[in-house]
Amino acid sequence: MTETQSLELAKQLIAQPSVTPDDKDCQAILTGRLKALGFTVEELNFGETKNIWARRGNTAPVFCFAGHTDVVPSGPEEQWTSPPFEPTERGGRLYGRGAADMKTSIACFVTAAERFIAAHPDHSGSIALLITSDEEGDAHDGTTRVVDVLKQRGEQIDYCIVGEPTAVDTLGDTVKNGRRGSLSGNLTVKGKQGHIAYPHLAENPVHTFAPALAELTATAWDDGNAYFPPTGFQISNINGGTGATNVIPGELNVKFNFRFSTESTSDGLQQRVHEILDKHGLKYDLQWSLSGQPFLTEAGRLTEAAKTAIAETCGVNTELSTSGGTSDGRFIKAVARELIELGPSNATIHQIDENVLLDDIPKLSVIYEKMLAELLKA
């Protein structure tokens, strides 16, 4: 394929050093392209975060592309083979921070929309884009705030593609049709500090927590389902003691996380943890933090449109997957009937010399265009 518009737009976006939450001029570049296509573009900015909600059409179905213009820091620039914010073609690849995560996806969708609209100016339904500059950061003022606005207005999305990098070995080999939830706990087990030679005068929280820890790690929280593996419990940090070898600690701090399936709920997991801690008679404080509920799009029109477009463009059979961390899909699913993540390779995301295959760029744009044609029935 020789289409170069996607590549040139990707380069234009990568050249903007838009480290979270600073969008630089990325959204202004996109706004100019979208307005030329007849999109109404709303700026929905909160705090330091820039967001746009762009829509062409006012009828259903609504086909939305969601993405982020912000990127993670480059790391030591001297370790990059070429400067991170100077998009560079080398060895059949496009290098630069954001090349994979996820400025290329944004460029490909915009050019797909341009071609689709040129061919079908009176298409049915609506095309929308939800773009934020706060996905790689704390995500408080980004997509979640735009979704709140859409909820208040009663706007619904029928089909949503989040342009996160999803390919493992070959473009199109993996599409995310859901993500696990993420629930973290910050536990402080209380004891009584004392001299290690007089344990009867102290209470060691490491010792009292040990049986509870064994039960927490051995518990089967759920069995998962056809789309999700069983819910997993992992300790990330344990810290106790003064550093001295002759002092029994007075407290033990334990940080842990659940990556949980749709077979469990955050409330249910919290209740079960408290029951185990209480059963073992622990004195403790426990603070919870929920960073994302699990979400799932079962096989349907959107997944089938993706599979067909990928097979026709890349000759690849697509696997539906819910692996990996969280994405902004966890917010958008509240207003989207069907949602998937589909983008380029994730092999180099957040790494030095982040890159994508040049040959994948026009193919990704064609995949998006074919999905527009199928789901809006042009």
CB atoms within 10 A of CB 201: 11
Q: Are strands 336-341 and 88-90 parallel, antiparallel or unpaired?
A: unpaired
Main-chain phi, psi angles of 49, to 5 degrees: -95, 130
Decide: 143 and 132 in contact? Cβ < 8 Å: yes
Main-chain phi, psi angles of 119, to 5 degrees: -80, -30
Active site residue 135: yes
- Number of residues written out for the chain: 378
Question: Catalytic pick from 23, 101, 134, 135?
Answer: 135
Active site residue 285: no
- Expressed in angstroms, the distance from the first to the final Cα of the chain is 23
Question: Catalytic pick from 23, 70, 101, 341?
Answer: 70
Angle at 330 between CA 325 and CA 335, to 5 degrees: 160
Residues 6+ apart with CB under 8 A from 244: none
Residues 6+ apart with CB under 8 A from 194: 201, 202, 203, 247, 248
Distance, CA of 163 to CA of 66 (rounded, Å): 6
Which residues are 162's β-sheet partners? 66, 341
Enzyme catalytic residues:
70, 135
